[in-house]
Amino acid sequence: MSKRVGILLCGLAIASFAMAQTVFMTNDSVAVFYPSNYDAKQHQPSPIFEREPAAVNPLTASWPLRVDFSEKEGHSIATINVADDVDFYGTGEVTGPLRRNGRTIELWNVDTPAYGMDGGTHLYQSHPWVMGLRKDGTAFGIIADNTWRQKITTNDHQVTFDSEGPAFRVIIVERESPKALMQALVNLTGTMSLPPLWALGYHQCRHTYYPDGKVMEIADNLRRYRIPSDVIWMDIDYMDGYRIFTFDPDGFSNPNRLNAYLHQNLFKTVYMIDPGVKVEKGYFVDDQGTAGDYWVKDRDGKVFEGKVWPGACHFPDFTRPEVRTWWATLYKDFMAKGVDGVWNDMNEPAVFERPETTMPRDNQHGGGDGVSAGPHLRFHNVYGMNMVRASRQGLLLANPQKRPFILSRSNFLGGHRYAATWTGDNLSSPDHMKLSVPMTLTLGLSGQPFNGPDIGGFCENSNGELVAQWTAIGAYFPFVRNHNTKGTIPQEPWAFTPEVLNVCRTAINRRYMLMPYIYTCFREASIDGMPVMRPLFMADAKDLSLRSEDRAFLLGGDLMVRPQWAPEVAQPNGGSWQKLTLEDGTDSYQAELRQRPGSIIPLANLAQSTAEMRTDSLTLLVCLDSYGEAVGQLYEDDGDGFGYKKGDFRLTEIKAVKQKKQLKITYCQKEGKMEPIERKVRIGLVSGGKVSYSAWQTGVEMTFSIK
């Protein structure tokens, strides 16, 4: 055991086992298992944890799970035996079903376009985390604190982590429920920062909108066709010869003017920045990086060159703090042109014409700030995470009064602290549409609540039927973006028939009506780690019929969403959740919504962007429980900036009580120092498969007549 770990454990009566390991517990029912040959400099400081787990107590005799460490053929292995009745979840960005029993996933981030439906060995991200759910509803989580290439295997009675690197520690968390387990996970890894409100709206993108006049045309069409939307994205063709932090002198000659036009029309802008820096003297990014010696080296200590979109490229060594600081400074002038958010793509890192489409395993990274130097085999899986860490630093440097929004294709467990993510280059197919539900759910259960797929599919031509179906369900995902690749037909909502346009408009309208509720769900995720989009078993962890359901899902804790292409799904609480029809149109594509008895869901009036959304006029969807009561929450702040961290927000509890033929509504501000406001409110009483609306009233305490 290393000196560092020995110091950490000094003074504790630590439990030692015959399998040559050392174990301690924190003060929060978390057990940390160390193999006897653990070398901290190969793993610490861990990128996973916001704070290093501290030894407080020895392992209790009643602790249910143990770790068996072993070595075989140069691999370090950790095995955890479990009971046969455990359902496994998590493991990050994976294909296949929600329930992960009997699966093997390789943790090695790879550019994987048009990935398969099931059995894919690895995708763009790595999350060495397994969640176990027992029949009695209790839950446990297992973290392999290891960035080196490894495999996770989840047999019915055993979890195995098999690593190509040195021996690693394992952290096991025990909790009474899945919700408590998610809270425990973020207690270790940190929470997601609250995103700007605009990032929760609808995003329109493709590879690629060129030139800037095409971007303006897309913006005009979104407003012309009355499709609520907040963000338009710029893929790599906005750059000058794919040189990052530049603009094409012909197609995007005046980015300030373009961004001002979009801002005037209530759009935000997101631009792509890749890690590959074109090798070219006179190009300021390459010149600065070369002068500072900021690049990843090959095994002989020479600067590594790899081919990506610009041709030969250098790659920043983001393990080094001085490189991250330099990278952050590049954003200041870039963001000053009116850029609102950043898209970090190709950051596995992808390298063309190379084995596994990435740089060699024996490339060298310098480390620093407590991180020892080491090979790419160790740092590959956190390359993207370290990049978005630096990018977030840059956005905060450029705009310290704004919440950063960064989307990253590659990431690692704990990377939710820096960026949102999407599920990569999927296919325009019904199968991939259906796959997007368990993929999004699994990322949420792996600590990444802000994620979603390319709606409509990225690779190959989509069609109107698919875009209609996918938008009808995708409108309820945490991240909602329509995106496709070059060489395929357009797939914007208006690109097909009037029927498809109407379906997409209705679905997106419903998202914007639900925005007060969705924003409240994101606030919950930023506080206690609960996924915004959740599996049905979160409604009742003891209901075994919900364990494998991965077509329907929950949005927050109070709204169930069922796609029309899944007519028969498991139902929480014996089917007692009430059908809910939002008033804005209906068709055969829209998802079926059900509301939890005892809940209140706040709705906003229709708006074309979140910038127009107001919460002083609300519809409250009230679904009474068997006692004639319901309760809900509404979170409000400025939608951007960091005033909420100083208490400039309002968290309101809303209660409804049925008293004979009247429904009494009361408000109570639970948290925050924003002043209460008088609201114009109407009630939508959800019962018997329909919604009965009241007249509008104004006040803090209101009484409505009901039948």
- Give catalytic residue positions: 345, 348, 425
Distances (CA, A) of 181 to 303, 420, 438, 445: 44, 21, 19, 10
Contact by Cβ (8 Å): 132, 88:
yes
- CA atoms of 584 and 428, how far apart (whole Å): 28
Rg over alpha carbons for the chain, rounded to the nearest Å, is 25
DSSP state of 368: B
- CA atoms of 301 and 279, how far apart (whole Å): 18
- CA atoms of 69 and 435, how far apart (whole Å): 35
Contact by Cβ (8 Å): 83, 65:
no
Beta bridge partners of 427: 459
Other beta carbons within 10 Å of 261: 17
Contact by Cβ (8 Å): 205, 272:
no
- CA atoms of 37 and 660, how far apart (whole Å): 70
* Amino acid found at 153: T
| HEC assignment per residue over 17-44 | ECCCEEEEECCCCEEEEEECCCCHHHCC
- CA atoms of 639 and 614, how far apart (whole Å): 11
- CA atoms of 150 and 128, how far apart (whole Å): 9
Contact by Cβ (8 Å): 289, 318:
no
* Amino acid found at 435: L
Contact by Cβ (8 Å): 50, 17:
no
Q: Among 290, 283, 346, which residue's Cα sits nearest to residue 314? A: 290
- The gap from C-alpha 87 to its chain's centroid, in whole angstroms, comes to 23
> Which residues, 6 or more positions from 23, have their beta carbon under 8 angstroms from its beta carbon?
14, 15, 16, 17, 31, 32, 33, 34, 58, 59
414 torsion bin: left (phi>0), alpha (psi -120 to 50), beta (else): left
- CA atoms of 480 and 422, how far apart (whole Å): 10
